[in-house]
Structure 1
Amino acid sequence: MPHHLARWTGLAGSALLAVAAFLSGALPGSPLRSTPVSIWQGPHGPLIIAAWLIGTALLAGAWWALREQVPSTRWALVTVGLWLLPLLIAPPLESRDVYAYACQGASYAAGINPYEQGVSALPCPWLDTISYIWRDTPASYGPLFVVLSGAVVKATGSLTGAIVVFRLIAVAGVALTAISLPVLARRVGVPAGRAVWLALACPLVAVHLVSGAHNDALMVGLLVAGLAVVASRPGRPGPLLGGGALLGLAAAIKVTALVVVPFAALVAIVGGYSIRALVRHGGWVVGGAVAAVAGVTVAAGLDFGWVSGLARGGDVIAWTSPSTAVGQTVGYLVVPFGGHIDALPVTRGIGLAALAVLLVWLWWRARTREPLEYAGLALAATVLLSPLFHPWYWIWPLAVLAATARKTGWFVVIALASSFLVLPDGTGLARFTKTVGAPLMTLLVIVLLVRLVRSARAAHRPVAAD
């Protein structure tokens, strides 16, 4: 597809998604529908579904078409800006999380610790806009975002005003990512234009980071900026401390950002790897990250309850998480035999154990390779092996891998498929496809495991002499 045609095709897709948002998005002040399938039963159901499906397809197709032939970094940035414009003025699309942010901010502004009580304790004036499952759940976001949420609610005093400011914060996070990506790309030798295109023109960014105003936008921006600072000034204590602090601030929004800190410590080393070099240079990065997290927590007057709040993410059961899908499939298989087994605790536990082992292995390999790419792989493993997968989570590894990986096919395909998983009003399609989706995901896991075993055997097989 010619690049000029791709630009206008994507813009048309974004405009159609904005139409879908106005017709059936998460409208400000609108109460949560009691019937989740009402989006296609309403008077505009066919139009909404058509606008969402065609708009997503156009945006995704234009992004895919230019994944290896972006004219320039400037062209990519201008195109991304054009694609974001329609969604900047439309209601939130495909998620109600921004309303939860506002309610948690209202709780904090009123002196309630959101890590100890759910937003229904205030009660929040906009409680009926939040998904039922999260109304009595303590916040799982870091102290920095809780403080920001409280400041936003205090400054605006209204739900619509809060949404506008949260969206501006998300745009700032995207802009910070755009500034930092070329630095990572230059370090690895990846074309900067391609990196910007893969990371920011992805439909997940327009729909979930900007339209949905997810706090992942700011988290990713700080994370990529921290890696960029470390990569551009290795061996220098001041920049390394500052880069580590940025990574710590990212973790003070979502704790999963801490996954990249050990890899950033490797990036900080000048010369070859050694324990002494790791302590001498990487120690500044780790120290900066720890100081930032602890400092923000103390300054906010909060504790580390947000860490335990992460466990509540497991309340959502969706086959888009491989470990959850395997557990669901096991349960389905025993039903014909009269059995009833809840295998989720076991399969999810195995997934987390595998993640812990894999993170250690990735870090060990990164000592003698490019640690920035391995930081992206570590984020990808974290997303794929966690008990819960939301489409916007994939933006975490996407932003890093876009600037550091030379082979892009596999993670671009995952982003492409994830763009179609949520309807305009925030209804996840995984809820209605679990009996098909879970077995298919399980089959995919089995296929991948078989391929990994065969590849490992082939790698250790002795080469026959001529």
Structure 2
Amino acid sequence: MSEPGAVGPARPAVATVARYAGLTGAVLLSVAGWLGGARTDAPITTRLGAVWAAPHGPWALGCWLVGTLLLVGAWWSLRRGAPSGRWAHVTAGLWLLPLLAAPPLGSRDVYSYACQGWSWLRGVDPYRVGVAAAGCPWTEAVSPIWRGTPAPYGPVFVLLAGAAAALGGSLLGTVALLRLVAVAGVLLAAACLPGLARAAGVPARRAVWLVLACPLVGVHLVAGAHNDAVMVGLLLAGLLLVVRHPGQRPRLLFGGALLGLAVAVKVTALVVLPFAALAAVAGIVTFRALLRDGLWVVAGAVAALLATSAASGLGFGWIGGLTRSGDSEQWTSPPTAVGFTVDYAGRLLGWDPNAVPVTRAVAVALLAVLLVVLWFHAWRSLRRLSGVRQRVARLAAARPRVALAGAGLALAATVALAPVFHPWYAVWPLAVLAVAATRATWFLLPCAVASFLTLPDGTNLARFTKAPGAILMTALVLWLAVAAVRGRWRQTGTPAAAS
């Protein structure tokens, strides 16, 4: 019997065209980076026209558009699976080489990281003051919106940024080391993907391709040196240990510690922990078994958080830094888009409702409820599987798939309902759903669209499409809500069945 989600390998001719089309796209994006990327000597633009009017602006934009089209098209063409896992690894690595040689692409966040590391080295608490107030000599390279904002990242990444600043010395040296840290995170993810896919019964050649060849990984995690690469690598490593060794307490403790380190990079990884606890249960799934095995995962995560918070010398100040992460308001966040649309409608009626804080708060409350629902759904699914008389091997294969799918959906819900969305956030659910979901288009399409949202210098196109983008996003949210309600009616037979 074929494994769930199994598809035939891509035809050799299609795969070859995809490989070299993607490589051409990566080269063009690297050229766009040198012509108009987020270089330290490049001016920070606030108007779309200034991007075009900049030296080499038309060439930079042309290379960016064609390169992104080629890279996204090549990745999408093999979405059902590369010829083999090895072929996927080699091709993805080939695409990353030109991007490694490019200046920061799509964002200036790496300069914020460098300044936060510099601040910590000099005894300044990056969770209390922004990089400008700390006196960082590289502040001019940081985007203006983040110069006065405390660090929203966990203690692990502050330690890594501090080490990069200490060893790198200059801004360029620090950025180069931060990129190496991001590459290490991607390599860790690459090492874990095949094992996770096999544990969940998903073709490894598909999972490896969907994650590593995704344009968001090359452009934002590698070229942009985002710390999401470290979070994703640690997250997948922790999940791999847990799903491979249920019931084995020392390994569950270590797996939980890796998950805790991921949380100590970005707190959003926390939503995965309850599903990892489910995957840790050996044998029949009961509440007692969950306490027996799952608590070891939680204990490892808590220990890692406590240890890294103490090692940074900053305690739990990083929790306070999270409150400023939503300072940016863009329609790419569905709750923010709905708030914008309500504000537009109110102004037409002569009233300013200031709805964005309200819709964001409602979305956070909805996320909390949805995470609980997803966890109990995974719990019931595993309980149902445990109650069916079947071969132990089938149950062992089903448990990782259910737990990983739940974790991936939790990350997807977190991204969709968060107050702010940046394109690289889409990699979080992609990395987990790629090893668990049998249908991929619904989470691949947002990744493809997100690849076009930022220009090489970090200019966010959402800033220039606020009204139409907000209205379209609100229409999409309403359509999805109606579709969900209708789907629920069909399942329950009401009220459609009553008619």
Question: Partner of 2:175 in structure 1?
Answer: 163
Is this contact kept in 1: 2:128–2:321, CA < 8 A?
no
Which of 446, 451, 468 aligns to 1:419? It is: 451
How does 1:392-403 map onto structure 2 within 5 Å? 392-403=424-435
**1:423: how far off?**
0.7
Matched, 1:63 2:95: no
Matched, 1:284 2:316: no
Cα distance in 1 for residues equivalent to 2:371 and 2:349: 38
Matched, 1:224 2:256: no
Cα distance in 2 for residues equivalent to 1:353 and 1:271: 34
How does 1:97-112 map onto structure 2 within 5 Å? 97-112=109-124
Matched, 1:209 2:221: yes
Q: Which runs of 5+ in 1 are unaligned?
A: none
Matched, 1:407 2:442: no
**1:141: how far off?**
0.5
Is this contact kept in 2: 1:32–1:128, CA < 8 A?
no
Question: Partner of 1:451 in structure 2?
Answer: 483
Q: Which runs of 5+ in 2 are unaligned?
A: 1-12, 382-401
Q: CA RMSD of the aligned region, Å?
A: 1.4
Is this contact kept in 1: 2:71–2:215, CA < 8 A?
yes
Q: Deviations over 1:103-150 (max 9, x none)?
A: 000000001111111111231111101111111111100001101111
Question: Partner of 2:99 in structure 1?
Answer: 87
Question: Partner of 1:359 in structure 2?
Answer: 371
**1:368: how far off?**
3.6
Q: Deviations over 1:263-319 (max 9, x none)?
A: 000000012221110010001000000100111001111121212221212211100
Q: Deviations over 1:339-389 (max 9, x none)?
A: 222101111111111100000000001114311111000000001001000
Cα distance in 1 for residues equivalent to 2:222 and 2:116: 20
Matched, 1:306 2:338: no
Question: Partner of 2:152 in structure 1?
Answer: 140
Cα distance in 2 for residues equivalent to 1:70 and 1:288: 36
Question: Partner of 2:249 in structure 1?
Answer: 237
Is this contact kept in 1: 2:105–2:457, CA < 8 A?
yes
Q: Deviations over 1:171-225 (max 9, x none)?
A: 1100100111111111111000100000110000000000000000011000011
- The one-letter code sitting in structure 1 at the alignment partner of 2:188 is L
Cα distance in 2 for residues equivalent to 1:31 and 1:118: 21
Question: Partner of 1:42 in structure 2?
Answer: 54
Q: Secondary structure at the match of 2:412?
A: helix
Is this contact kept in 1: 2:263–2:270, CA < 8 A?
yes
Q: Deviations over 1:13-54 (max 9, x none)?
A: 000000110011011344534656411122422211111111
Q: Secondary structure at the match of 2:475?
A: helix
How does 1:348-387 map onto structure 2 within 5 Å? 348-369=360-381, 370-387=402-419
Is this contact kept in 2: 1:171–1:217, CA < 8 A?
yes
**1:4: how far off?**
0.7
**1:156: how far off?**
1.3
Question: Partner of 2:87 in structure 1?
Answer: 75
Question: Partner of 2:392 in structure 1?
Answer: none
Question: Partner of 1:256 in structure 2?
Answer: 268
**1:256: how far off?**
0.8
Is this contact kept in 2: 1:29–1:126, CA < 8 A?
no
Matched, 1:180 2:186: no
Question: Partner of 2:388 in structure 1?
Answer: none
- Please identify, of 378-387 and 43-52, the stretch whose mean Cα deviation from structure 2 is larger: 43-52
- Please identify, of 42-51 and 411-420, the stretch whose mean Cα deviation from structure 2 is larger: 42-51
- Please identify, of 36-45 and 195-204, the stretch whose mean Cα deviation from structure 2 is larger: 36-45
Cα distance in 2 for residues equivalent to 1:429 and 1:410: 23
Cα distance in 1 for residues equivalent to 2:352 and 2:133: 36
Question: Partner of 1:330 in structure 2?
Answer: 342
Question: Partner of 1:123 in structure 2?
Answer: 135
- Please identify, of 454-463 and 111-120, the stretch whose mean Cα deviation from structure 2 is larger: 454-463
Q: Secondary structure at the match of 2:54?
A: coil
Cα distance in 1 for residues equivalent to 2:271 and 2:81: 31
Question: Partner of 1:16 in structure 2?
Answer: 28
Cα distance in 2 for residues equivalent to 1:68 and 1:461: 34
Cα distance in 2 for residues equivalent to 1:29 and 1:101: 18
Cα distance in 1 for residues equivalent to 2:69 and 2:173: 31
**TM-score normalized with structure 1 length:** 0.98
Q: Secondary structure at the match of 1:94?
A: coil
Cα distance in 1 for residues equivalent to 2:121 and 2:481: 48
Cα distance in 2 for residues equivalent to 1:394 and 1:55: 20
Cα distance in 2 for residues equivalent to 1:80 and 1:26: 23
Equivalent pairs, count: 465
Cα distance in 1 for residues equivalent to 2:17 and 2:457: 30
Is this contact kept in 2: 1:105–1:149, CA < 8 A?
yes
Is this contact kept in 2: 1:223–1:246, CA < 8 A?
yes
- The one-letter code sitting in structure 1 at the alignment partner of 2:345 is L
Cα distance in 2 for residues equivalent to 1:50 and 1:60: 15
Cα distance in 1 for residues equivalent to 2:441 and 2:202: 15
Matched, 1:434 2:466: yes
